[in-house]
Amino acid sequence: LNFRNASFITSAAKISQLTSDGGAEVAFAGRSNAGKSSSMNTLCVQTNLARTSKTPGRTQLINLFDIGQDCRLVDLPGYGFAKVPLELKEKWQLALTEYLEKRESLCAVVVLMDVRHPLKEVDQMLLQWAVASDLPVLALLTKCDKLKSGARKAQLLKVREAITVFGGDIQVELFSSLKKLGVEHLSQFIETQCYR
């Protein structure tokens, strides 16, 4: 897979507007501000790949990026946004739910959580849903540079312990876009899932 040459394909509000549902897709999901765009940019060694998704008007959309060999990265709308009007929030969640439930090519999910505030209720819902849908999950504890080495490791162990209640196939790793930590894990996870 060619992460470096990842290119924007399209934005869509509904899955019916997306490109054909073939090949393999790995979706990135997380609460707003969890570091989703940064992680995608870091993975793809680009500075504004996922900024595309932050262009006003596109933030509520599902954004697709081509990584070759009929594989795609999918930037899902961020969830858990406090300042959004209710009506918009519902529309937003509808697109997210529709994608997660209906997209055949979806083969795995990367869940981004700030290392300092992991496993919020909405994160737990997503993990539960992924497990119920038999989708492998890589949970990344983002911005891990914000914690000292000891605290960071303790947090990793704590989250690994806590997610055992969900069962399923959930891996947890530390990640930092700033320090380029965990990038190898992320790319290997995607390669493995796309070629499964």
Q: Residue 145 Cβ, how far from ligand GDP at the closest point, in Å?
A: 5
Token pair of 142 as six digits: 């983002």
Contacts of 142 (CB under 8 A, 6+ apart): 30, 34, 35, 38, 39, 112, 113, 114, 115, 175, 176, 177
Using CB under 6 A as the binding rule, whether residue 152 contacts ligand GDP is answered as: no
Using CB under 6 A as the binding rule, whether residue 35 contacts ligand GDP is answered as: yes
Q: Which is nearer to ligand GDP, 28 or 166 (CB)?
A: 28
Q: Which is nearer to ligand GDP, 23 or 80 (CB)?
A: 80
CA 80 to chain centre: 14
Q: Which is nearer to ligand GDP, 149 or 164 (CB)?
A: 149
Using CB under 6 A as the binding rule, whether residue 178 contacts ligand GDP is answered as: yes
Name the strand (E) or helix (H) holding 113. Answer: strand 106-114
Q: Is 92 within 8 Å of 77 (Cβ atoms)?
A: yes
Residue with tokens 């990265």: 73
Of the residues 38, 52, 128, 187, which one makes contact with ligand GDP according to CB under 6 A: 38
Using CB under 6 A as the binding rule, whether residue 63 contacts ligand GDP is answered as: no
Using CB under 6 A as the binding rule, whether residue 108 contacts ligand GDP is answered as: no
Distance CA 81, CA 72 (A): 26
Of the residues 18, 26, 36, 140, which one makes contact with ligand GDP according to CB under 6 A: 36
The 3-state DSSP class for residue 118 equals: coil
Q: Give the burial class of 149: count Cβ atoms within 10 A of its Cβ; 0-12 exposed, 13-18 middle, 19 or more buried.
A: exposed
**Could you tell me which stretch among 125-133, 140-148, 156-164, 183-191 binds ligand GDP (CB under 6 A)?**
140-148
Q: Which is nearer to ligand GDP, 80 or 168 (CB)?
A: 80
What type of residue sits at position 80? G
Q: Which is nearer to ligand GDP, 19 or 33 (CB)?
A: 33
Q: Which residues bind ligand GDP (CB under 6 A)?
A: 30, 32-38, 78, 142-143, 145-146, 176-178
